[in-house]
Amino acid sequence: MKKIYSVLVENHSGVLCKVAGLFSRRCFNINSLVVGETDDPEVSCMTIVSSGDQRTIEQIEKQLNKKLDVIKVKTFDEAMSVSRELMLLKVKYNRNNRKDIMEICNILKAEIVDMSKSQMMIQMCDVPEKIKLLIKMLNSISIVEVARTGTVALPKCTDAEKQQSKHEA
Amino acid sequence: MNGAQAMVKCLEKEGVTTIFGYPGVAICPFYNSILDSDIQSILVRTEQNAAHAASGMARVTGKTGVCAVTSGPGATNLITGIATAFADSIPLVCITGQVNSELLGSDVFQEADITGAVESFVKYSYLVKNADDIPRVFKEAFYIAGTGRKGPVLIDIPVDIQNQTVTRFEYPESINMRTYKPTVKGNGAQIRKVVAEIKKSQRPIICVGGGILLSGAELLLREFAEKYQIPVVSTMMGIGAMPTEHPMYFGMVGNNGKPCANRAMNESDLLIMVGARVADRAVNQPDLITRGKVLVHMDVDPAEIGKNAGPTIPLVGDAKHIFAELLEQDIQCSDEKWVSKLNGYRQTMKTEKESNPEYVNPAAFIHKLSEKMQEDAIYVADVGQNQIWSCANHIVKKGRFLTTGGMGTMGYSIPAAMGAKLGNKDRQVIAVCGDGSFQMSMMELATMNQYKVPVKIVVLKNTVLGMVREYQHYTYHDRYSVVDLSGGPDLEKLAAAYGIPFLRVHNMSEADQAIDRFLEKEESILMECLIDPMELVK
């Protein structure tokens, strides 16, 4: 079972290490982990994608809540969320395959953001499956290097701002 | 006022009377300031024992224990003690000196990343980078250590911060941390569910862990068990929550527990786990305790519930509050047949083992000793065969039974007993250890001597690492590897070297007289009991 954890944490040094350490120590998976500041400079948001059985998924949430630097944990499924990933990908091209590459980029709504006489850099921001699809499509053409951010996600918008907090006594 | 003076002032504000530690350059400003305070500082002989002593003191006083050591090796030596306190949920504030803050990260003399090293076994840690933060940090540290699921908190303070001027010292009155709000009161709906299950149950049982003692809920538990006639068993850390000879108490569960306690737990239809981790020592097949029965799991730490066994009814909160609420309910008493059935098991499932008459029989000896001890004595068991013999044979009346059930750290008993005695000067304190565990902390005899802490020590001497030998006996068919302890020391000479009276017990015929002499005076005394090296726990 795959779950996304959106974790608000205190924005001070060592917190990322504590959270990542918790996952490794308790043998929880990390599929991806992304951290960034929120609108409040004292608070960071981590988006962690993880998987495991029901008990593990529950334990991850509880153990995260137990960390004193964690302000709030929201756990949700992919289907209940909007998730995005950003990728930068460099390929080698030649006269013969240039058109093909551009076509693939067009179809998958990827953008060419830089190029030289032999290489081009493609940027794509989409759901993780689409990112994987682009990699697959370009695999036959020689990929030079890839950088991916990992998933960031938030639960879908609702009208009532009612979000459960596990920290409330 | 400088940082070090602020640190001492914070300890005074928290009502700390005694600290344990070991100085070094990086903590010297603090130890300089403590001279101006009424706080007693005890110099232990190795840092690990500072944490154990603080743990012993915390367990008998209910207050957070404090230790203070220097940077680098001082701090790393403390780690085992911190991990022990963490596993047993004992509230400690551990202060470590650190190198100059400008040199942090440059691997200078006696620098160790202690906050990083202890991350997985502290409740929280601080690295103070500004002396003005000291009051807030200390207030938070004591609050975190002593509330919710208790545990150790580490404060690492660079030496220059200890010397830095504090612009304004104001000790916070109250505390409000947005990330830490432990749940104390049980959820009403969940409590109603528990009540409904108790009403339905024919064969209810309560299994208590160390959480009961940490919450101070022993008396409420007793009242609850008596009022609703619900039998009680305990884990190792829960020993002492009920007097051993209480009619509703059936002993310790687990691999090394009482057969009747295990049987009672297995045959119950409602198991109420309170403040217990459901770890392998107590419950080695967690799936079994949910099969065919309703499991209610109460704990102040939500993460413990469902970690090792899925409960039918989770109930987060402090045992004291929950039992107080449950006692207000009107619940039909359980079947009398159940209690009398368990009493039958208690009578018939006694295990009495033969012992070599040429040596002291450890089980019988501990039984005799605990009968002769003062009613409210504090008994500290170490780790190894001695721990199992102690758990099975010590009779708790109005006293306490302390041991490290979670981490199982050898050498715990002597420093912990020392801390317990300093925390409770009018009670008899007795440490019982093996010759292996004794040698892990025997240097503390000097500390006891120096500060006149009259702890009584029993060494069950079998000249082997008994627990491991026993394991090798069963698992490797007597192929013994690295368990021989025949290198001494001569404990009589050792006791003389520390100026402590000494007794040797060769066999059971000498036991009565020796125990009487051992307990007679308020003094430190060392008693060596010769145990057959081949003696087994099982």
- What mean pLDDT is predicted for residues B302-308? 90
- What mean pLDDT is predicted for residues B466-492? 96
Domain hosting B240: range is: 188-348
pLDDT tens profile B60-71? 999 999 999 999
Looking at the complex, does the CB of residue B115 fall below 8 Å from at least one CB of chain A? yes
Listed in sequence order, the residues at least 6 apart from B474 whose beta carbon sits closer than 8 Å to its beta carbon are: none
- Tell me the residue ranges of DSSP E strands in B318-399: 378-381
Residues B236 and B380 in one domain: no
- What mean pLDDT is predicted for residues B494-514? 97
- Helix, strand, coil shares, percent, chain A, to 5: 30, 40, 35
Q: How far apart are the CA of B176 and the nearest CA of chain A, in angstroms?
A: 13
Amino acid A165: pLDDT: 46
Domain for residue B254, yes or no? yes
Amino acid A160: pLDDT: 66
Looking at the complex, does the CB of residue B171 fall below 8 Å from at least one CB of chain A? no
Whether residues B302 and A65 touch (CB distance < 8 A) is answered with yes
Residues B331 and B205 in one domain: yes
pLDDT tens profile B94-131? 999 999 999 999 999 999 999 999 999 999 999 999 99
- What mean pLDDT is predicted for residues A33-55? 95
Residues B370 and B431 in one domain: yes
Amino acid B286: pLDDT: 78
Q: How confident is the model at residue A162 (pLDDT cuts 50, 70, 90)?
A: low
CA distance A81 to A79: 6
CA distance B323 to B217: 8
Amino acid B367: pLDDT: 96
Would you call A154 helix, strand, or coil by DSSP? strand
Looking at the complex, does the CB of residue A168 fall below 8 Å from at least one CB of chain B? yes
Whether residues A17 and B182 touch (CB distance < 8 A) is answered with no
- Of the candidates B175, B531, B520, the one whose C-alpha atom is nearest the C-alpha of residue B386 is B531
Nearest-Cα residue of chain A relative to residue B303: A62
Is residue A164 scored above 80 in pLDDT?
no
Position B118: which residue type?
V
Interface test with A, best of B137, B179, B308 (most A CBs within 10 A): B179
Is residue B284 scored above 80 in pLDDT?
no
Position B54: which residue type?
A
Burial B165-184 (b: 16+ CB within 10 A, else e): ebeeeeeeeeeeeebbebbb
Whether residues B181 and A71 touch (CB distance < 8 A) is answered with no
CA distance B232 to B253: 10
Domain for residue B465, yes or no? yes
CA distance B537 to B522: 32
CA distance B369 to B516: 9
Domain for residue B174, yes or no? no
* pTM of the predicted structure, to 2 decimals: 0.94
Q: How confident is the model at residue B336 (pLDDT cuts 50, 70, 90)?
A: confident
Choices 3.40.50.720, 3.30.70.260, 1.10.3720.10, 3.90.226.10: CATH for A2-76: 3.30.70.260
Q: Which of A44-58, B247-261, B279-293, B497-511 has the lowest mean pLDDT?
A: B279-293
Q: How confident is the model at residue B334 (pLDDT cuts 50, 70, 90)?
A: low
Nearest-Cα residue of chain B relative to residue A71: B179
Residues B242 and B122 in one domain: no
Amino acid B308: pLDDT: 86
- What mean pLDDT is predicted for residues B9-19? 98
Looking at the complex, does the CB of residue B105 fall below 8 Å from at least one CB of chain A? no
Q: Return the CATH number of the domain spanning residue range A83-150.
A: 3.30.70.1150
* ipTM of the complex model: 0.89
Is residue A129 scored above 60 in pLDDT?
yes
pLDDT tens profile B165-223? 999 999 999 998 999 999 999 999 999 999 999 999 999 999 999 999 999 999 999 99
Residues B405 and B495 in one domain: yes
CA distance B221 to B321: 11
Domain for residue B256, yes or no? yes
Looking at the complex, does the CB of residue B307 fall below 8 Å from at least one CB of chain A? yes
Place of tokens 């954890």: A5
Amino acid A39: pLDDT: 95
Q: How far apart are the CA of A77 and the nearest CA of chain B, in angstroms?
A: 21
Whether residues B310 and A55 touch (CB distance < 8 A) is answered with yes
- What mean pLDDT is predicted for residues B40-49? 98
Is residue A168 scored above 50 in pLDDT?
no
Whether residues A168 and B181 touch (CB distance < 8 A) is answered with yes
**Which residue intervals of chain A bear CATH 3.30.70.260?**
2-76
Mean pLDDT of chain B: 95
Place of tokens 């040698």: B439
* Cis, bond preceding B29 (omega within 30 deg of 0): no
